[in-house]
Amino acid sequence: MSTKPKMTFADIKSSQIYWQEVWFLATGIIRKMNRLIEITPMPERDYFLNCDPEITDLVLGILSNSANIKKLTTPAPQQRGESAFKYQFRIDRCNEIKKILPNVDFSAILDTKVRNTLEHFDEYLDEFIINATLGGLDPKYMHITYNVGVSDTAVFTPKPFPIRMYEAKTKIFYNFDNKVDLGKIYDIAQSVDNGIQEYIRNETAKHYPSHTVEEKIECSGGSIIPRLAICGK
C-alpha cells in the first residue's frame, strides 16, 4: 500500500490559485451587485415593485460567491472522517489567504442563516406552507412576497412576509425569518479586490523593482499555469 508523503501548506510551490479564486469570486460579487443596483434604481418619488427574475438570480449568485469566499478564508470545524493532515492544510490555507488580505474584515460573510434557507429552500417552503395552511401565519401578514424586488418595504402596509425579497433602499435581502445585508458583502468584495491589487503591486515591486503598476488591475478570471509551477516533478 502506497502512503502519501507528509507535507504542509508551506510546502506547496505557489498559493496563487487560491487567492486568484477569492479574487474571481469577489469581482463576481461586484459585477452582480452593480447589475442589481442598475436594475433596481431608487425612484425620485413613490415606490417600485419589480418581479423581474434577474433580481433573485443576481442575489443568489452574490450569496453563492460569498459562501465560497467564506469556505476559502474561514476554516470550518474538522469534519467527520477528515484526516488531521487535511484539516491542518485547510487551516493553513485560510491563514495564508488572510495574510495576503490583512485589512479585509470578513465578518459580514460569516452568518449562514440566510444561505441555509436557500440551500434547503424546499424544506423551508414546505414548513411555511404547512404552518400557513394550519393557521399558524401571523395575522399581521396580509401579503406574501415571492421573488420580488421593492424600493422600500414601506410599499406594503403592513409589511409582507418575505420569501426571497430584495429591498433596494437598504440592499437587504429577506428570506422567511432571516435577512442579510448585501451592501456589507459588496463592501467586502471591493476590499478583497483592492487588497489583491495592492498585493500584486507589492509583489511586482519586490521582484521587478524597475517596473511599476499604476493603473487598476483587472481580475483575469483564469490563467494557464505551467505544470512545474504546481507539481513537484
Cell numbers describing residue 131:
404552518
pTM of the model: 0.90
**What pLDDT digit, counting tens, does each position of 35-93 carry?**
999 999 999 888 899 999 999 999 999 999 999 999 999 998 999 998 898 999 999 99
CA nearest 27: which of 204, 181, 199, 194? 194
**What pLDDT digit, counting tens, does each position of 146-202 carry?**
999 999 998 898 999 999 999 999 999 999 999 999 999 999 999 999 999 999 888
Question: How much is the pLDDT for 119?
Answer: 95
CA nearest 203: which of 25, 10, 19? 19
How far apart are alpha carbons 184 and 104 in whole angstroms? 12
If you write DSSP's letter for every residue of 108-134 in order, what string do you get?
Answer: GG---HHHHHHHTHHHHHHHHHHHHHT
Preceding amide of 77 cis, omega within 30: no
How far apart are alpha carbons 98 and 72 in whole angstroms? 10
How far apart are alpha carbons 148 and 134 in whole angstroms? 25
Residue ranges per structural domain of the chain: 11-229
Question: How much is the pLDDT for 205?
Answer: 81
Strands (E), the chain: 49-50, 144-150, 161-167, 172-175, 178-181
End-to-end CA distance of the chain: give it in Å, rounded: 21
Cell numbers describing residue 13:
510551490
Cell numbers describing residue 89:
492544510
